[in-house]
Amino acid sequence: MKEYEDRWGIPGTYVFDLELSRLGYPINKMCNSLKSEDNREAFKADEEAYMERYGLSEEQKQAVRDRDWLRLTQLGGNLFFFLKLAATVGCGLYAIGAQMRGETYEEFMSTRNVPGAV
């Protein structure tokens, strides 16, 4: 993944281009399917079988298992789609942002201008 990051010359940035889109297609397709309540229930009942159904690579599956949102991005996951996964597993946008920045939720929220947060 290092060579991909270096390709753009912007450390810590993963440009969602055609190559990354192709890599992440299985993640994004699976996550998008979670719009349906039946699919959310199926995912919660057996995550492994659900991921297999969409053809995720082992690396992508591990990122889902770990709820590693930054890694999902690096593997082609698009926030628009993996927010559906996050909602399914009870994780909010601010918690995702904190994890992606390597901060605690409290640290992350202290840098936001959100009345009543933290």
CATH code at 47? 1.10.700.10
SS3 content of the chain, % helix, strand, coil (to 5): 65, 0, 35
**3-class secondary-structure state, position 114:** coil
Asked, for residue 34, whether it belongs to a domain, the answer is yes
Quick check: is 54 in a domain? yes
Q: Is residue 45 part of a domain?
A: yes
Residue 69 lies in a domain: yes
pLDDT above 80 (res 65) = yes
Q: Which of 6-10, 25-29, 40-44 has the lowest mean pLDDT?
A: 6-10
Residue 109 lies in a domain: no
Tell me the whole-structure pTM to 2 decimals.
0.82
Residue 115 Ramachandran class (φ > 0 left, ψ -120 to 50 alpha, else beta) = beta
Q: Which domain holds residue 32?
A: 2-7+15-88
Count of structural domains within the chain: 1
